[in-house]
Amino acid sequence: MALLSESHQGQDRQLAEAGHGTRVKVCGIVDPAELDALSAHRVDFVGLWWGVPGGPHDLDRDRWRALAQSAAAKRLAPVLVTFAKDADELRATLEGVPVHWIQLHGYPTPGTVRKVKAIGEDVRVIKVLHVRGGECVEASLIGSYEKAGVDVFLFDVVTEDGRVGSTGQALDPAVVAPLLEKLTRPFLLAGGISEANRANYASLAAHPLFLGIDVDTNARDANGAISAGHIGAITHAWRDERANG
């Protein structure tokens, strides 16, 4: 990992804190031109896939590093989005790039989270909590994940056939709401988030630990490319107080 400047360190710390407005993360970036659209709409986090076997937006290590450097140069916070569980492999991927956020998909143990946190003192872990069939798969492990060092949780949907991440299926707020009592860390919402359904999540967004949203499918046009117009509509709906009233 490359060291962050003092100003970037301050920005990075604040990104992990709820109460500073709705943070927006856009996932699955594969092209430098897409970063311009994110920067124009003040997106906070850029999800870059590595170690996602068969994933449509999975990047090899060289492309991943190049995009991470470009994102950081635009003052976007790059996030290593991965299913990988080997801390040494993750450390190698982060070597020399200014990336301190790692999003762990799949079902790593709290012990794995602890090893990932040990990569560096500035590493921040986003742990996905998977909602499937009306329940959260990892609900009983939330406390253990927090003790292991998770900085932010992300609620996302698992399809009935087991597909994880970027499914476009809507997250059920009724499943998430009772789980918030277990949290002491901020959380992000994913799963079909769009400009049209912000009202469905109003009670979750009003929670003091609400950090923001993660979008992928609904940030894309009919051809699957990141759309500046879609991103603009989503950020407006979720950030503008008048739109949210």
A 10 A CB-CB count for 101 gives 25
Domain 6-244: give its CATH code. 3.20.20.70
Question: Which helix (H) or strand (E) is 129 found in, with range?
Answer: strand 124-132
Contact 104, 125 (CB under 8 A): yes
Based on its alpha-carbon atoms, the radius of gyration of the chain, rounded to whole angstroms, reads 16
Average pLDDT over residues 86-101: 95
Count of other CB atoms within 10 angstroms of residue 160: 8
How many CB atoms sit inside 10 A of residue 181's CB? 7
Q: 29 CB contacts (<8 Å, ≥6 apart)? A: 35, 38, 46, 47, 48, 57, 67, 71, 226
Give the C-alpha separation, 58 to 105, whole Å. Answer: 13
Whether 237 has a pLDDT exceeding 70, the answer reads: yes
Instruction: State percent of the chain over pLDDT 70.
Output: 89
Reported confidence tier of residue 39, pLDDT bands at 50, 70, 90: very high
Least confident of 55-69, 164-178, 202-216: 164-178
Phi-psi region of 137 (alpha: psi -120 to 50; beta: other; left: phi over 0): alpha
Which amino acid is residue 94, in one-letter code?
L
**Helix ranges restricted to H, 78-141:** 87-94, 110-117
- Alpha-carbon distance of 33 to 15, in angstroms, equals 24
State the pTM of this model.
0.92
Domain locations in the chain as residue ranges? 6-244
- Scan for tokens 């990892």, then name that residue: 138
- Whether the per-residue pLDDT at 226 is higher than 50: the answer is yes
On the 0-12 / 13-18 / 19+ scale of CB atoms within 10 A, 99 is: buried
Q: How confident is the model at residue 7 (pLDDT cuts 50, 70, 90)?
A: very low
At 120 the pLDDT is: 93
Residue 2: pLDDT over 80: no
- Alpha-carbon distance of 107 to 136, in angstroms, equals 12
pLDDT over 60 at 162, yes or no = no
The pLDDT of residue 6 is above 70: no
Cα gap 1→182, rounded to integer Å? 32
CA–CA distance, 149 with 226 (Å, rounded to integer): 32
The predicted model gives 42-70 an average pLDDT of: 95
Predicted local distance difference test score (pLDDT) of residue 160: 61
Q: What is the DSSP letter of 51?
A: S
> What pLDDT score was predicted for residue 10?
56
Contact call for residues 67 and 35 (beta carbons, < 8 A) = yes
pLDDT of residue 103: 97
Mean pLDDT of the chain: 90
Q: Give the dihedral sign, CA 107/110/112/113.
A: positive
What's residue 38's pLDDT?
Answer: 96
pLDDT at residue number 134: 83
Among 87-101, 123-137, 166-180, 189-203, which is the least confidently predicted range?
Answer: 166-180
Residue 155 and residue 187 in contact, taking contact as beta carbons nearer than 8 Å: yes
* Residue 242, pLDDT score: 42
CA 61/CA 142 separation, integer angstroms: 31
Report, as an integer, the average pLDDT of 137-154.
Answer: 97
